[in-house]
Amino acid sequence: MKFIVFSFVCILSLPVLGDQWLAGDLHVHSVHSGGDSYVRELSLHAQKIGLNFYAVTDHDNKMKGAPLAWSEIREQDVDGVSVLYGMEWTSGDKWTNSIGHLNIWSDRPFLYEKFWKSNLLRDLHLLEEARREAGVLLSVNHPRAVGFSWELDYPQHFDAMEIWNGPFSLSRSNLAYRDWKERLQNDEHVLAVGGSDIHKIKRDSHTRMGHPTTWVRGKSHSSSHVMQALSEGRVVLTADPYILPPDLSLYDAHSEQLLGQIGDQLYTHGLFYLRLKLPKNAYSGVAFKELLLYRNGKLLKKLKVDEKRIFAVKDRVEQREKVSYFLELRGENKGALWGDSDILAITNPIYINF
Ligand SMILES: [Zn+2]
Ligand SMILES: [Zn+2]
């Protein structure tokens, strides 16, 4: 009897049958750009800490535009871990002449020449052309980190914004999270991602792989499924790989039918309820304290976390009104790298009428 009840709960907790939350790190450096490890070592480390995927994003200027790690990515065969082909478009060689950094991700090797030329010429039109031709995803890295911030306008063709970066973490005056919320207030549709920006895994440093972790909901951990989930916005950020993603879903208030989940874009109006679900407490030393529900980048509801794991909040959306909802989880994390940050997780939004 116990077994039957257990299976029932499991099935209910699956977002979409066949989809699963996969843990990853979208910002990792290898020996080719100041790191201390080759791809195979990075993959073994990722496997050890429970990551399903990561992206090698070496500084292109350290390699004069040649993607030196990609042959290693092609050959890596560490069980259960897939590696995205990435590069960090890195302007300037000192922070004094930097206009910013961008991450580029793909599930396959692509021609980098044009990206490199766009970097040397600081030509964003050429960058956009290269992005379109290669079919890659482009993310603005640590956009508000002093010295390494993004200094130009945010062109619309950027696919994502790294609002949570390892060294420029949420607690160390990274204004990117606030910037992202302001964009949501202006009805912008921007994918929020995280990345550890790890360089050294062999000794203790101020960064750790998977801190933060970017979770994607996909069919499998294959690179193509990870890329698909990223482009569909099925993404949640947590402080580390041991905190599982909280869940947010939208239901019709009358029929109680499930209408949307994180990343979905819906065209609808009426009375809804949002279901907020806490993850299981992954390890001791983590305590959940508050769930914050945001509507268009502004706080809609703050809920104290007690014994309950599921909460419901009612809200109305008018006809053609653009509304985005996302969730933030706060609490205590004794294992946190950044002792003063109480943010444990941030989800991407559900978008309505965008
Ligand atoms: Zn960078
Ligand atoms: Zn980096």
How many whole angstroms from 179 Cα to the centroid of ligand 1?
Answer: 18
DSSP-based three-state secondary structure for 163: strand
Between 145 and 67, where is the model more confident? 67
How many whole angstroms from 92 Cα to the centroid of ligand 2?
Answer: 13
Is residue 122 very low, low, confident or very high in pLDDT (cuts 50, 70, 90)?
Answer: very high
Give the closest ligand to the alpha carbon of residue 197.
Answer: 2
User: What per-residue confidence (pLDDT) applies to 2?
Assistant: 35
How many whole angstroms from 101 Cα to the centroid of ligand 1?
Answer: 5
Q: How is the chain split into domains, by residue range?
A: 17-238, 247-352
Q: What architecture does CATH give domain 17-238? A: Alpha-Beta Barrel (3.20)
Give the closest ligand to the alpha carbon of residue 99.
Answer: 1
How many whole angstroms from 234 Cα to the centroid of ligand 2?
Answer: 23
Give the closest ligand to the alpha carbon of residue 198.
Answer: 2
How many whole angstroms from 311 Cα to the centroid of ligand 2?
Answer: 37
Render pLDDT for 314-330 as a digit per residue (tens, 0 to 9): 999 999 999 999 999 99
CA distances from 74 to 32, 96, 146 (A): 16, 36, 35
How many whole angstroms from 2 Cα to the centroid of ligand 1?
Answer: 50
> Cis before residue 245, ω within 30 degrees of 0?
no
Q: Which of 297, 289, 290, 288 shows the shortest CA–CA distance to 326?
A: 297
Give the closest ligand to the alpha carbon of residue 142.
Answer: 1
How many whole angstroms from 165 Cα to the centroid of ligand 2?
Answer: 9
> What does pTM read for this prediction?
0.92
How many whole angstroms from 350 Cα to the centroid of ligand 1?
Answer: 29
How many whole angstroms from 165 Cα to the centroid of ligand 1?
Answer: 9
Render pLDDT for 24-73 as a digit per residue (tens, 0 to 9): 999 999 999 999 999 999 999 999 999 999 999 999 999 999 999 999 99
User: What per-residue confidence (pLDDT) applies to 15?
Assistant: 47
User: What per-residue confidence (pLDDT) applies to 3?
Assistant: 34
Is residue 167 very low, low, confident or very high in pLDDT (cuts 50, 70, 90)?
Answer: confident
Give the closest ligand to the alpha carbon of residue 199.
Answer: 2
Render pLDDT for 3-13 as a digit per residue (tens, 0 to 9): 333 333 333 33
Residue 203 has pLDDT above 70, yes or no: yes
How many whole angstroms from 59 Cα to the centroid of ligand 2?
Answer: 7
Beta bridge partners of 22: 216
How many whole angstroms from 263 Cα to the centroid of ligand 1?
Answer: 26
DSSP-based three-state secondary structure for 230: helix
User: What per-residue confidence (pLDDT) applies to 206?
Assistant: 78
Render pLDDT for 268-281 as a digit per residue (tens, 0 to 9): 999 999 999 998 87
Beta bridge partners of 216: 22, 235
Q: Residues 278-284: contacts with CB within 8 Å, 24+ apart?
A: 278/246, 278/305, 278/309, 278/310, 278/329, 279/243, 279/244, 279/245, 279/246, 279/247, 279/345, 280/244, 282/242, 282/243, 282/244, 283/242, 283/335
Q: What CATH number does domain 247-352 carry, 3.90.470.20, 2.60.40.10, 3.40.50.300, 3.90.850.10?
A: 2.60.40.10
User: What per-residue confidence (pLDDT) applies to 1?
Assistant: 33
H or E element that contains 223: helix 223-231
Give the closest ligand to the alpha carbon of residue 141.
Answer: 1
Give the closest ligand to the alpha carbon of residue 57.
Answer: 2
Q: Which of 348, 310, 305 shows the shortest CA–CA distance to 326?
A: 348
| Percentage of the residues of the chain whose pLDDT score is greater than 90 | 78
How many whole angstroms from 301 Cα to the centroid of ligand 1?
Answer: 34
User: What per-residue confidence (pLDDT) applies to 337?
Assistant: 73
User: What is the residue whose two structure tokens read 């933030």?
Assistant: 328
User: What per-residue confidence (pLDDT) applies to 172?
Assistant: 61
